[in-house]
Amino acid sequence: MSHDTLVLIAELAVAVAGFSSVIVALESRGVRYWSALQRFNLRVLLQVSALAIFFSLFPLILERLVEPPASWRWALSVYGLVHLIDVSSFMWRTPPETGHVHRIFQRIGLLASLASLLVAAFGSLLACEVVYLSVLVWHLAVAAMGFVLLVFGSSGEDPGASRRD
């Protein structure tokens, strides 16, 4: 996999995370006054962007310590384990008022983390690289979903409720 691809994904994740500061700055109320769902969507955006940033750069660092064929297997193993813990945490802490979009993304994320661990254990080098890249792109999509839901509200949330005092 190209190092340029990993750096590009990191840059995109930084951009998506950076949009959260614009949202917070434009919101007339402080974050502590946001609904539980709005704070959850902000957490999705920031936490998943941070994962994408870190794991975009992780293989570049790891290959300095471990030879490239083994480094991809180790990188995917660590990524899969962290992803499994992360998605489990999100499933546990999801506010009850969230819509189906969150639940669907969480289930797909759970499957992606389990697939990562299986491919890391039994897959070829090419499979490890492809799954690694696919999960990074998945995390970018989830961060973008967090951004869209934060800006436009999500199903099950009254869009006007966040504007009422």
Cβ atoms within 10 Å of 59's Cβ, excluding its own: 26
Q: Which residues contact 117 (CB under 8 A, 6 or more apart)?
A: 77, 80, 81, 84
Cβ atoms within 10 Å of 113's Cβ, excluding its own: 22
What residue spans define the domains of the chain?
3-152
Q: Model pTM?
A: 0.83
pLDDT tens string, the chain, 165 residues long: the values are 678 999 999 999 999 988 888 878 877 777 888 888 888 888 889 999 999 999 999 999 999 999 877 899 999 999 999 999 999 998 888 887 777 888 898 999 999 999 999 999 999 999 999 999 999 999 999 998 888 888 887 444 444 444 443
Q: Are 107 and 91 in contact (CB under 8 A)?
A: no
